[in-house]
A and B are shown apart, each in its own frame.
Chain A
Amino acid sequence: MNKLKGINKRSWLSTPYLIWIIGFTVIPMAVIFRYALSSPEGGFTLANVAAIADPVHLKAVIFSLEIAVGCTLICILLSYPLVLALRRLNLGKRGFALFVLILPMWMNFILRVLAWQMILSNNGILNLLLQKIGLEPVALANSGVAIMIGVVYDYLPYMVLPIFNAVSEIDEDIIDAAKDLGAGGFTIFRKIIFPLSVPGLLSGIVMVFVPSMTSFVISDILGGGKLQLIGNIIEQEFTKSMNWYLGSGLSVSLMIFVLISMAFTMRNDMEGKGSAIW
């Protein structure tokens, strides 16, 4: 009886969460779907959702994909050496290294992107330094490279942290055993560390791929308005063209796209766990 009361009390505690979810996720989603599936004149239509296939929109989707895939790959390549190095540090130094990694996230996101704009601009800090050491200045401002630098910088911690968590849980004895049996550094990484880090890697991929696919602020600031991700087009439909129907339609198709890629990752996740057990 007492137990039952306890459970009841606990489910009551979830009320604020429920209100939050209904008010700020379920209802807004319903509104977006309502706009997406109707035309300005009223009546049902799929045209807004199908508009993603329009050449201009498709081009933006492909560019978004390039940025998202590129950003995810670069983050993975940067994360593993970092995580392996962190593993070797003693506890105090490791804490400090993680602190330094997370520190920029305490600053406002827009400010960080604006800082990159200052660094990469034609007369910016980077070119100043290059000229000081006698090299040619580079024209990185307002290019795809600038956008890539921005997304990698912003989302790298979301890749490092889950991989680090997974790797730091690996029992040192397993690695010692592998060493005893004559495994070299690379074999240990390939056969032990990497497979055991896969769950962390997968959540890292989701946390980096999805936001870099849908971002629009970074591309707006670092792309100089010359390069558009699909997020920029959606933003413009809402704020500039005042076409909420098309904006919602494109959002819904983007959401479907993201859900499909998530489902793909989840399936791999299960396979990953399976192989880890085997």
Chain B
Amino acid sequence: MKRRVLSVLLATVALGSTVLSAGCSGKQDAKETLTVFNYGEYMDPAVLDLFYEETGIEVKYEEALTPEEMYTKYKAGAIDYDLLCSTDYMIEKLIKEGELQEIDIDAMENAGNIGDKYWEFSQAFDPENKYTVPYFWGTLGILYDTTKVKEPVDSWNVLFNGEYAGEIIMQNSMRDTYMVAMKALGYSLNSNNEDEVNAAHDLLVKQKPDVQAYLVDEARDEVVAGNATMAVVYSGEAYLGNQYNEDLAYVIPKEGSNVWLDSWCVTKQCDNVDAAQQFLDFLCREDVAEMNFEYIYYSTPNEKVIEGLSEEDRANEALVPADDATENCEVSVQLDPEINDLMNTQWKELKAE
């Protein structure tokens, strides 16, 4: 009891002194804060505390669920966000709208921890690597039950050859599902060629009777539970699925697939660019990147972290895709508006079949 009273007293004193010192320093250097906008559950909260301890910069942390929600909130302008973490195509949009500031990546001490491969991926939406710092990435592939397939899966064709009719789950998302068909036909997933999109559509219409369901979050669970043999899922989902059911395997088909990349960028509203850059540098530091990796378990672009992984984790395709597996992969970028409209219409038709 005595100790509890004491600790309460101490806490009060400590709180008082931080308030006081904050008040004092506030006058001197206008108390530094950063407003950071990220996806939910996408950073270890301890990282923010560590950053405050080391730099004295306080991070106001805001979360969103989807890129679209993030964009809408950012555009609404109610909060001045300094830094935000978003996905490739949304960043492309922000860059085109002139919403971002250049980052001095050469000045960042730890930027070298990010592998060259990921800076190259970034060039799909940030051609000169000026605006973004890679954070996490992953692929789209097939999660399948090894006990139910006759031979190892290595091609998108298994989804279209009718062999697993009624046992297939596709993504309930337009671009992801079209990507599968485009890649199966050997086209680019960013194709703006109307004939190629039409061919992909025909293939998907033909496939629909074989599809058990178009799902997003439940796709993994259905394979885990044995309700379906295979599903098109994101690599992070596949890693978790494998934790639940050891018989599951994940493959990035040989025709190539979609690589997604979430990156950090600095908004044009940010006044304190130095602090923002300090934060980005901090995120690339090995120990911090490792904390985040162990919290999120998506693929990290931080090569120092990958080197430190266990043998087993490094061999896991869902966690660390091999270089040759991602050779044919592409980052998806915004399509021409006409092609996008065409795809939207076709997607509705497909779902209405």
Q: Which residues of A contact B (CB under 8 A)?
A: 56, 59-60, 117, 121-124, 139, 141-142, 224-226, 228, 232-233, 236, 239-243
Contact B213 A228 (CB under 8 A): no
Report B69 CB to chain A, min CB distance, Å.
9
Once A121-B222, A239-B68 are accepted as A-B contacts, the answer to whether A228 and B227 lie under 8 Å apart by CB is: no
Contact B352 A59 (CB under 8 A): yes
| Residue in A56, A139, A233, A239 with the greatest tally of chain B CB atoms within 10 Å | A56
Size band of the B side of the interface? Answer: 20 to 34
Q: A225-B214, A225-B215, A243-B344 are in contact. List 9 more A-B contacts (CB 8 A).
A: A56-B352, A121-B227, A139-B166, A142-B213, A224-B213, A224-B215, A226-B351, A228-B352, A240-B174
The tally of CB-CB contacts under 8 A between chains A and B is 49
CB neighbours (8 Å) of A141 from chain B are: 212-213, 227
The answer, among A123, A233, A242, for a CB contact under 8 Å with B348, is: A233
Report A188 CB to chain B, min CB distance, Å.
47
Once A60-B352, A121-B227, A241-B344 are accepted as A-B contacts, the answer to whether A225 and B172 lie under 8 Å apart by CB is: yes
CB neighbours (8 Å) of A59 from chain B are: 352
Complex Cα distance, B280 from A36, in Å, reads: 43
CB neighbours (8 Å) of A241 from chain B are: 344
Report B344 CB to chain A, min CB distance, Å.
5
Q: Which residues of B contact A (CB under 8 A)?
A: 68, 166, 172-174, 208, 211-215, 218, 222, 225-228, 344-345, 348-349, 351-352
Contact B352 A240 (CB under 8 A): no
The answer, among A122, A226, A240, for a CB contact under 8 Å with B173, is: A240
- Find the B residue at minimum CB distance from A220: B172
Contact B226 A224 (CB under 8 A): no
CB neighbours (8 Å) of A224 from chain B are: 212-215
Complex Cα distance, B351 from A236, in Å, reads: 11
CB neighbours (8 Å) of B227 from chain A are: 121-124, 141
Report A139 CB to chain B, min CB distance, Å.
8
Report B245 CB to chain A, min CB distance, Å.
13
- Find the A residue at minimum CB distance from B349: A56
CB neighbours (8 Å) of B172 from chain A are: 225
CB neighbours (8 Å) of A233 from chain B are: 348
- Find the A residue at minimum CB distance from B72: A242
Contact B214 A236 (CB under 8 A): no
CB neighbours (8 Å) of B214 from chain A are: 224-226
CB neighbours (8 Å) of A226 from chain B are: 208, 211, 213-214, 351
CB neighbours (8 Å) of A117 from chain B are: 218
- Find the A residue at minimum CB distance from B171: A225
Complex Cα distance, B213 from A117, in Å, reads: 12
- Find the A residue at minimum CB distance from B345: A56
CB neighbours (8 Å) of A236 from chain B are: 348
CB neighbours (8 Å) of A60 from chain B are: 352
The answer, among A142, A239, A242, for a CB contact under 8 Å with B212, is: A142
CB neighbours (8 Å) of B215 from chain A are: 224-225
Contact B213 A123 (CB under 8 A): no
Contact B351 A225 (CB under 8 A): yes
Complex Cα distance, B284 from A57, in Å, reads: 48
- Jot down 5 A-B pairs with beta carbons below 8 A, ordered by A: A117-B218, A123-B226, A225-B214, A240-B173, A240-B174
- Find the B residue at minimum CB distance from A240: B174
CB neighbours (8 Å) of A124 from chain B are: 227
Report B209 CB to chain A, min CB distance, Å.
10
Complex Cα distance, B232 from A198, in Å, reads: 51
Report A227 CB to chain B, min CB distance, Å.
8
Complex Cα distance, B349 from A170, in Å, reads: 51
Complex Cα distance, B211 from A225, in Å, reads: 10
Complex Cα distance, B14 from A18, in Å, reads: 48
| Residue in B208, B225, B227, B228 with the greatest tally of chain A CB atoms within 10 Å | B227
Complex Cα distance, B352 from A60, in Å, reads: 7
Complex Cα distance, B190 from A219, in Å, reads: 31
| Residue in B166, B211, B222, B348 with the greatest tally of chain A CB atoms within 10 Å | B348
Report A127 CB to chain B, min CB distance, Å.
10
Report A61 CB to chain B, min CB distance, Å.
11
- Find the A residue at minimum CB distance from B177: A225
Complex Cα distance, B347 from A233, in Å, reads: 11
Report B206 CB to chain A, min CB distance, Å.
15
- Find the B residue at minimum CB distance from A59: B352
Complex Cα distance, B174 from A242, in Å, reads: 13
Complex Cα distance, B349 from A243, in Å, reads: 16
CB neighbours (8 Å) of A56 from chain B are: 345, 348-349, 352
Contact B225 A123 (CB under 8 A): yes
Complex Cα distance, B173 from A239, in Å, reads: 11
Report B127 CB to chain A, min CB distance, Å.
25
- Find the A residue at minimum CB distance from B166: A139
Complex Cα distance, B116 from A175, in Å, reads: 86
Once A122-B227, A239-B68 are accepted as A-B contacts, the answer to whether A228 and B173 lie under 8 Å apart by CB is: no
